[in-house]
Amino acid sequence: MNAVLALDTSTEQCSVALKVGDVIVTRAAVTPREHSQRILGFVQEVLEEQQITLADLDALVVGNGPGSFTGVRIGVSVAQGLAFSHTLPIFPVSTLTALAQQAIRNHDAQVVISAIDARMQEIYVAPFRNNQGMAEQLAPEQMAPLADITMQSWWPEIAVGNSVIGAGTGWQAYGDALNSPGLVTVLDDVTLPLAEDILRWALVHGKPVDAADLEPLYVRNEVAWKKLPGRE
């Protein structure tokens, strides 16, 4: 694929990345209440910078959650709209995967626990390891209460002989509760997912879906997604 566009609005950060050939250009801004106004402008900016149009794209990548319910819906809806209008496949990527990939890209982290603040004294969390420079997920995304991270069932497997890195807003908001033994090194510069990392991960490990089959990854089971017309 020569031209791939990635976008993410799942958290407070709105970001876009465009890969054309070997060049990646990006836009990002922390605008928690302006994603719907900013995202298409960012898309247009990166397309113009690379002197291409939406018609030149081969695929789309989107961060499909977990995160802010409104933000996740915006990103998924925009990706669906662009994909339908230009008959493009979509690669959905978890925001927790994106955080782990960012920690690997910036710090060569070997074991990463991604945690996003889910409000109401809970976090979205998943563990990852560095597999030849790519984030490999070791357990499913879950919603977890604020408790010592070493109480998670997967902790013994990932922690043995490894330096464990914490990435994401969950660690910034609740580090004292999650990291009471101090066994996790929390990164201050990897807090919000970026479209660049979603794009990089999708190009290696992503699995495309049709626009009609794209769904948000909410993790909270009680949240419903309005299905598109004609879907069962």
pTM (whole model) above 0.85: yes
For the chain (232 residues), the mean pLDDT of every run of 10, in chain order, is 95 97 97 91 97 97 95 96 95 98 97 94 96 97 93 92 94 93 95 98 96 90 46 38
Q: What CA–CA distance (Å, rounded) separates 7 from 15?
A: 6
Question: If you write DSSP's letter for every residue of 123-163 in order, what string do you get?
Answer: EEEEEEEEETTEEEE-S--EEEESS-GGGSTTHHHHHTT--
| CATH H superfamily, domain 3-94+193-213 | ATPase, nucleotide binding domain (3.30.420.40)
pLDDT value for 221: 53
Residue 229: predicted pLDDT:
47
| Residue listed under structure tokens 């509760």 | 177
CA triple 15-21-26, angle to 5 deg:
15
Contact 217, 64 (CB under 8 A): yes
Q: Select from 3.40.47.10, 3.40.50.12280, 3.40.50.150, 3.30.420.40 the CATH code of 95-186.
A: 3.30.420.40
Residue 40 confidence (pLDDT): 96
The pLDDT of residue 18 is 98
pLDDT at 33: 86
Instruction: Compute the Cα dihedral for 140, 114, 3, 27 and give only its sign.
Output: positive
Every domain of the chain and the residues it spans? 3-94+193-213, 95-186
Tokens standing for residue 46: 């990166």
Please state, in angstroms and as integers, the Cα–Cα distance from residue 222 to each residue in 2, 45, 166, 219, 225, following that order: 39, 37, 28, 9, 10
